[in-house]
Structure formats: structure tokens, C-alpha cells
Chain A
Amino acid sequence: MIRFDHVSKRYPSGHEGLNNVSFHLKDGEMAFLTGHSGAGKSTLLKLIAIIERSTRGNVYVAGKILTNSKRHQIPEIRRNIGIVFQNNSLLTDRSVFHNVALPLVIAGYRHQEIGRRVRASLDKVGLLSRETSLPLTLSTGEQQRVGIARAVVNRPPLLLADEPTGNLDPELSKEVMLLFQQFKQVGVTVLIATHDLSLVSEFGERCLALENGRIISDKNSFKRDRIKSH
């Protein structure tokens, strides 16, 4: 689903965001992206969403090469990617419902279908009762979950999340990660950037570790025994 082929990203300022990064994430695979602050996690995700472009090497998503994608091709590519942003980037003047509905409105879904899917999505993140609230009246953690609901509402085959648990307490963080794992189980490819190593270690998923723009390790994280009570 995602393939990086010797990708480097040098920002106009001369700063090297990514340095010769290569990896392959298969269809339906889930991986964590870890690393210190400034390691290049966000940069890597931005290359996938074509928010930034690589300065060397090629990025492939769903078999298509992104490196030379034209301006008018970008919307179609992005529609197939659900993105949870580091700064939740919700529209503050729209209700939770409208925020989550945005990807469906853009894709031209029918009215009833929008309502159905938005509620299903809000239900998944436990915010169904807040659909009429404005984002600023929610806690930061709740806003982040609205962001997740928006990312998954049109069931994209690829889900990217940048620090989706940055503002959540450990319990809630784990629940959100479990939610992402559920998406993996229905076939969604999931890539999550996080610096919460202890949380990562609980899931036994693949883990790409970045340091100063380079991949320093790519392995399955240690899987601690989890009690599956449900």
C-alpha cells in the first residue's frame, strides 16, 4: 500500500527532514512510526498525503507513484487516505456533525447516507451525544476523537494518524489505538506516528523507528500479553 524508495526530504531551509528512507507497508498492515520530536514522523506522513514532496527518491501509494502527481490529481489521491492530524484541525465554526461530514460532502454522498455514516463514525469514537456541539466546547481529547471520526467516515483504504493520542490519558489512548487496530482488522492499512513507546509495545504491531530523518529499526514490537476480555 505504501512504499518508500530511498526517499529524502530536504526543506527549503536546508534542513533534512527525511534521509534515505525505504520501507514497504503492505495492504491491510498496521505500523507505528516512532522517534523523538523532530525525527521526521510528520514529514513522512506529509509525503504520503502530498502535503510535502520528496526531494529525492519515490513514494508509492496503492501502486501509484506520488512524486510527479499533478495538482489536479491530488484531491482524488487524498480522498482515499484518512488523515488524523497532529493539530486536530477541526473547523471551529461548524458543529461536530458537520466536521465529520465534510469528507462525505466533498465526495458527494447522499444526504441520508451522510447522516448514517457520520453517526456510525461518531458512535465508534464515543461522541454520538455531542454531534451538535461546536469543537471548541469539547475537551482536547474529545476534539482529537472527532478528528479520528472524520478520518474514517468515508472508510478509506489507508489511514494515517499523527500523534492521535497526544492529548489523551493512558486509558483513552489505549482505547483509541484499539480502535485503529479494529480498522486494521477490517482491512484498512494503518500508519500511526507516536512517541508513546510503552503504548506501542502493548500492541505487537510493526514499528518503524526514526531518528534524525533515518529509519534506525523496523521490527515487530514486543507484544505484551493482553487480556482479551471482550
Chain B
Amino acid sequence: MESVPVIQLEDISKTYLMGAGHVNALRGITISVAPGEMAAIMGPSGSGKSTLLNVIGCLDRPTGGRYFLDGVNVSEMSKEQLARVRNKKIGFVFQGFNLLSRVTAAANVQLPLLYTDEKPQPNKKEIERRAMEALSWVGLKEYGHHLPTQLSGGQQQRVAIARALVNSPSIILADEPTGALDTRTGMEVMDVIQRLNLQKNITVIIVTHEFNIAQYCQRIIRVRDGRIQEDLRVDRPRVAAEDLKEMPVEVEE
């Protein structure tokens, strides 16, 4: 029943040269992720989670091994081609939100659309319409004209999610998306991500320290010292929307 994997890593390694010595951040990672899957990557600090996610996101190139994204070998692509792949197929969500602080939420969401190579190029109106649609999807329809500093952490992270989904990517990659948020807000963000996965069928990979967060995924990949230590399927992942309902509103950390 497995379809063609959206992500297929074959013996991926990544070595950083550091002055005299070198750091093996990834040492032969082989995994495949099916379309529509929602997976968590866990592991101790320094185990190579972020490095792995960056390789999957085409932000970084592996030093060894092969990587097929949607069946295409991206490990041999030029920087230019990788930028195009990121723009078209991948959405990032970071721990620190990484929004442009000087422009509005709407302008942040529009950013990927400015770099699209879609033909014909979407006009200003179309760009605004799609950004607004993405903002509404994360429940921030009314906040388009706010600056990031005028938004709470959770709201900022939802703007970042809107930005990640505005180009209709096939994958969304999130590096500790709840790391800077309190429990409830974190859960709200997880709810948005989970809905993205379930309703839009976007493949999601989340790097997290917290088992609570990993519980919402269908699969948990444990990494240690740049190797895969464990790759588990979760039979019945928790649903963030349900947990949110049970959570008393007043209680905060």
C-alpha cells in the first residue's frame, strides 16, 4: 500500500570541517517518508536533528549519500535549483519564528510568492489574496496588517505557518516549533500543524524534544550521534484539537 516516498534518504552523511578536526553530524541516515505522513524527529541535543532537517529542506547539502525528493535526485542540484525546490515544495517553521520584523504579517506571508517562478507570475492582487487565504487558514484573518512585534508568540508562529503553506508545498518542516511557547500555545500551534497534515495532506516533519509534542505524530524517529536509533509507528496519534478542548483556558504554565 506504500506509494512513492516523498522523501527518500539513502546513506546520508554530513561532516563539518572545523579548523583542524571535523564533526560527523550525520553518519549514514537512510529513511523514507510517504506522502501525507506526519513524523517527529527526537533525540538528545547535538544528535544531528536540525542538520537532518536542513538536509531534508534543501537548505544544506549532505557530504555523502543520495537524497530523492518526490523522486528527483536533489543531492546533485545547484544552489539555484535548490532555491527553486525550497520555494515550490518546502515550507519551514522555526523555533524562533524567523519573521521579518519590519514588515506586516501579511507581507511576511507573501514573501515566498515574491520568489515564485510560476508562469504567469501572480500579480499583486493574487499574491495578497493567497496570503490572506493562508492567514485565515491559521485563524489570523484579522491580523494581516499587524507587525510581528504586535503579535503574541503563538500568533507569530501561526504567521510563520501561514508563510510555510502559502506556496502549497508538499512538505512542511518544523524545527522545535513549540520550543519558544507555553504548553497551551504550543498545543494550539500543533493543532494548526496537525490540521495542515490531515486536511491538506501535506507531509510534516517536526523536530522536537518533547514527547508530548511527538505524540501527535504518526511516526517517531529517534536520532543519536548522527544515526537513526529507533523508527516507531504510533498506532493512534493524539489529536491536538481534542486535547485543547479538555484543557482549562485559564491555566497557563
Q: A and B, one complex?
A: no
Please list the residues of chain B having a beta carbon within 8 angstroms of any beta carbon in chain A: none
Please list the residues of chain A having a beta carbon within 8 angstroms of any beta carbon in chain B: none
